[in-house]
Amino acid sequence: MLWAAKEAAFKAVSKFKPGLSFAHRAYAHRDEPGKAAHIVLKQTNGNAVSIQECGVVMTPAGPVDTFFTLSTHRVHCVAAVRNGNGGAPAANPVHVLEERRDGPFDPSAAVRRAAIHHLASVTKASPYYIDIRRDETPHGYGAPRVFIEGNRTDIDISLSHDGKYIAFAVHY
């Protein structure tokens, strides 16, 4: 859980502070029970997601709230950068998909396809016109960005995969 929290917080703040390094010791996590009221997680099918643990990661760019869903096989952490009044930016739910895939597959392509099909269903755009890109920066590749018909959107997305598991979180 600690590693997932730090990695999720780094991914969240690096969208606003490109070039930030992921020095593990520079990210400190603490539990904060009761924080779950600040964010709503929904599965891509619309069902509410039960948040089992909450916390805060102190990063070089400021505090980041963390929300965990757990099972015997995986830890999924969603990180939310705080807005100006101290709460997580959760006016709209964060939609999540967590899925186990069996057999041979390209996890990066699989999570992108799953995210594109979800976005197509909510934006009513054809999946053929939705693209998820990562721009090359002086520090490597940047955070993923969503484009519809070639135009960059304000949709915030995070993609993740590990072994047989893929996951994404999207906020629109």
Look at residue 15 in the predicted model and tell me its pLDDT.
Answer: 84
Look at residue 21 in the predicted model and tell me its pLDDT.
Answer: 80
Surface-to-core class of residue 22, CB atoms within 10 Å of its CB (0-12 exposed, 13-18 middle, 19+ buried): middle
Look at residue 38 in the predicted model and tell me its pLDDT.
Answer: 65
- Decide if pLDDT at 157 tops 60: yes
Asked whether 146 and 119 are in contact (CB, 8 A), the reply is yes
Look at residue 91 in the predicted model and tell me its pLDDT.
Answer: 63
Residue 107 phi/psi, 5° resolution?
A: -60, -35
Q: Please report, for the chain, how many H helices and E strands are present, in that order.
A: 2, 11
Per residue in 28-83, pLDDT tens? 988 887 666 667 788 888 888 888 888 999 999 889 999 888 877 788 898 888 76
Identify any residues that bridge with 77 across adjacent strands, giving them in sequence order. Answer: 68
What is the reported pTM? 0.83
Please list the alpha-helical segments (H only) found in the chain.
Answer: 2-14, 107-123
- Decide if pLDDT at 139 tops 90: no
- Please provide the distance, in angstroms rounded to a whole number, between the alpha carbons at the two ends of the chain: 26
Query: In whole angstroms, how far apart are CA 81 and each of 45, 59, 71, 85, 131?
Result: 25, 10, 25, 11, 24
